[in-house]
Amino acid sequence: AQTVTQSQPEMSVQEAETVTLSCTYDTSENNYYLFWYKQPPSRQMILVIRQEAYKQQNATENRFSVNFQKAAKSFSLKISDSQLGDTAMYFCAFMKHRGNTPLVFGKGTRLSVIA
Amino acid sequence: SAVISQKPSRDICQRGTSLTIQCQVDSQVTMMFWYRQQPGQSLTLIATANQGSEATYESGFVIDKFPISRPNLTFSTLTVSNMSPEDSSIYLCSGGLGERNEQFFGPGTRLTVL
């Protein structure tokens, strides 16, 4: 079975600064997907970024980028130029490559952006 | 992306009653998933709903307690039966979409059981 570990329950960052959220996972699969989801107080789960394990290039989406280390089974999220609207719970998630399979989530990191 | 709606958005229910949550997707999706998020916790998968077949439940979740319907490729319902205060949670549905294998979520249903 797959497991996802987020070791930082809470983090804070000053507005306009950069913050990195950590995620490690355990799997015997060779091909899979990794995701970061954001859940603001509205509780809507918002997909932030997606990484395919067979791609070595790290995914980027505007101010969000990942550092994917497949051998280390590490998948960290970097948020640059943090904004107040980035305040939310962030969940790291794993999905098998077979498609249409459910997500396995980490426990989440609560990020607060401070003005 | 897909737009997923859920009804109701929230409800307060009495112990021993049942509530049915509806999930509507604006695109056809093969699989839909139901998750539970207990207060301050992460998301836990309840079951996978495939159109035309019975739902597949995760360990700790049973059909009698959480019956699921999936009548077509855009709609599913989850019923929380014989509710107790321990069922107070957010219930979210999701659908997997397209070649990018991205899952999109409904806004969730916040259930409080008194």
For residues B88 and B113, is the Cβ–Cβ distance under 8 A?
yes
For B39-64, the pLDDT digits (tens) are 999 999 999 998 888 899 999 999 99
Which chain A residues touch B96 with a CB distance below 8 Å? 99-101
Q: Which amino acid is at A3?
A: T
Q: What percent of chain A has pLDDT over 70?
A: 99
The confidence score (pLDDT) of residue A101 equals: 85
pLDDT digits (tens, 9 = 90+) for A61-94: 999 999 999 999 999 999 999 999 999 999 999 9
Q: Give the model confidence (pLDDT) of A32-50 as tens digits.
A: 999 999 999 988 999 999 9
The strand pair at A88-96 and A32-39 is best described as: antiparallel
Q: B96 vs A47: CB contact, 8 Å cut-off?
A: no
pLDDT of B106 > 90? The answer is yes
pLDDT value of position B96: 78
Q: Which residues of A13-43 are buried (b: 16+ CB within 10 A; e: fewer)?
A: beeeeebebbbbbebeeeebbbbbbbbeeeb
Mean pLDDT value across residues A82-110: 92
> How distant is the alpha carbon of residue B86 from its chain centre?
16
Chain B residue with minimum CA distance to A107: B42
List CB contacts (< 8 A) between B101 and chain A. Answer: 33, 95, 97, 99-100
**How many Å apart are CA A38 and CA A84, to the nearest integer?**
13
pLDDT for res A2:
87
**Confidence check: pLDDT of B14 > 70:** yes
Task: Indicate the average pLDDT of chain B.
Answer: 93
Q: How many A/B residue pairs have CB atoms within 8 Å?
A: 53
Closest CA in chain B for residue A34: B102
Tell whether the model's pLDDT for residue B21 goes beyond 90.
yes
Q: What percent of chain B has pLDDT over 70?
A: 96
The Cα–Cα gap between B64 and A61 comes to: 43
- With 80 as the cut, is the pLDDT of residue A5 above it? yes
Q: Are B65 and B73 in contact (CB under 8 A)?
A: no
Q: Which of B6, B43, B59 to mutate to test the interface with A (most CBs of A within 10 A)?
A: B43
Secondary structure (H, E, C), chain A: CCEEECCCCEEEEECCCCEEECCEEECCCCCEEEEEEEECCCCCCEEEEEEECCCCCCCEECCEEEEEECCCCEEEEEECCCCHHHCEEEEEEEEECCCCCCCEECCCEEEEEEC
Contact B102 A44 (CB under 8 A): no
Q: Which secondary structure element, helix H or strand E, spans residue B47, and what is its range?
A: strand B43-50
Scan for tokens 């929380």, then name that residue: B80
Residue B29 banded pLDDT, cuts 50, 70, 90? confident
